[in-house]
Amino acid sequence: MNPTPHPRFPELVQIMSRLRAPDGCPWDREQTHASLRSYLLEEAHEALEAVDAGDDQALCEELGDVLLQIVFHAQIAAEDGRFTIDDVCGAIVDKLVRRHPHVFGDVEVDDAAHVKANWDQIKRGEKGGRADEHSALDGVPAHLPALLRAQRLQERASGKGFDWDHIGGPLDKVAEELAEVRAVWAAAADQATEAERRRLEEEFGDLLFALVNAARFLKVTPEDALRRAAAKFETRFRAVEQAFRDRGRPLEEASLEEMDAVWDQVKAREAD
């Protein structure tokens, strides 16, 4: 397969320009960076679904949708004279060369960990200012999915030595935070005040954060783990719904015990 740039990329850029032209598409013309935010996130998630499914055809299509969002944003910026798609490409090319001196320069590295350490050092230098003014947590996007952001923050802190020595620490922390959630809930019960609800939310957040830390030690990506768990739940619940349809009964008329029994049957079939 030829790795050289395909001539259809300039065609994509031209099409996007045409869609945004005065006589182009009314919907495309009214879009802004802000209005496209949700689409960029949605297309990235759909690409992840294709990766998880191992579906090359779907991945090819979804990556095209992600690329469209990049070209769309660049076109909007170009119309305002801020930057172009060439500037976008140039910025990432320069960054890749600059942050890989072991490939494009004469720096020697021992392993992937050494590469990452160099990358982080170069990145800090690019930000300017005094080295002692930087935080190890700089550069972790605030808009990352919460589980992934927690993981990245913990990884950054770990790189500075702020970490447990073994898995026992994170697991004990999970148990501690779960106990605190139980204690707050027991104190508030169903008559929780606004302050108690905020406290419960805070303690539950601490529990989730501790679970992410435990996942990191277990070399499990929490975002992926939860996504797969949600997909498994969806598959099983749909099967339960179908089972009751086959019986001619609406699901809402079944008791929880009946639904649990069918759920267990669905799980048993998966194990066969």
How do residues 126-158 score in pLDDT, each as one tens digit?
Answer: 776 555 567 888 878 888 889 999 999 999 899
Q: Are the folds of 8-98 and 146-220 the same?
A: yes
Provide the residue ranges of all domains of the chain, joining segments of one domain with +.
Answer: 8-98, 107-133, 146-220, 224-271
User: Rounded to 5 degrees, what are φ and ψ at 84?
Assistant: -120, 175
Angle at CA 115, nearest 5°, toward 112 and 120? 130
Question: Which class is domain 8-98?
Answer: mainly alpha
pLDDT of residue 267: 92
| Tokens describing residue 248 | 């001619």
* 5 DSSP 8-state letter: P
Per residue of the chain (272 residues), give pLDDT as tens.
555 666 899 999 999 999 999 999 999 999 999 999 989 989 998 998 899 889 999 999 999 999 999 999 999 999 999 999 999 999 999 999 999 999 999 888 888 888 888 887 887 777 765 555 678 888 788 888 899 999 999 998 998 889 999 999 999 999 999 999 999 888 876 677 888 888 999 999 999 999 999 999 999 999 889 988 999 999 999 999 999 999 999 999 999 999 999 999 999 998 77
pLDDT of residue 109: 85
pTM above 0.85, yes or no: no
pLDDT of residue 126: 78
- CATH T-level topology, domain 146-220: Helix Hairpins (1.10.287)
